[in-house]
Amino acid sequence: MTKKELTFKEGYEVLKKNADLLESQEEPDIDNLMKIVEESMS
HEC secondary structure over the chain: CCCCCCCHHHHHHHHHHHHHHHHHCCCCCHHHHHHHHHHHHC
Give the chain's domain count.
1
Q: Which domain holds residue 34?
A: 8-41
* Percentage of residues of the chain with pLDDT beyond 90: 40
pLDDT-derived band at 3 (thresholds 50, 70, 90) equals low
31 belongs to a structural domain: yes
Q: What is the pTM of this model?
A: 0.69
14 belongs to a structural domain: yes
Nearest to 13 by CA among 39, 34, 33: 39
Mean pLDDT value across residues 17-42: 88
1 belongs to a structural domain: no
3 belongs to a structural domain: no
Are 12 and 40 within 8 A, CB to CB?
A: no
Average pLDDT, the chain: 86
31 vs 13: CA distance, rounded Å: 22
Q: Is the pLDDT of residue 8 over 80?
A: yes
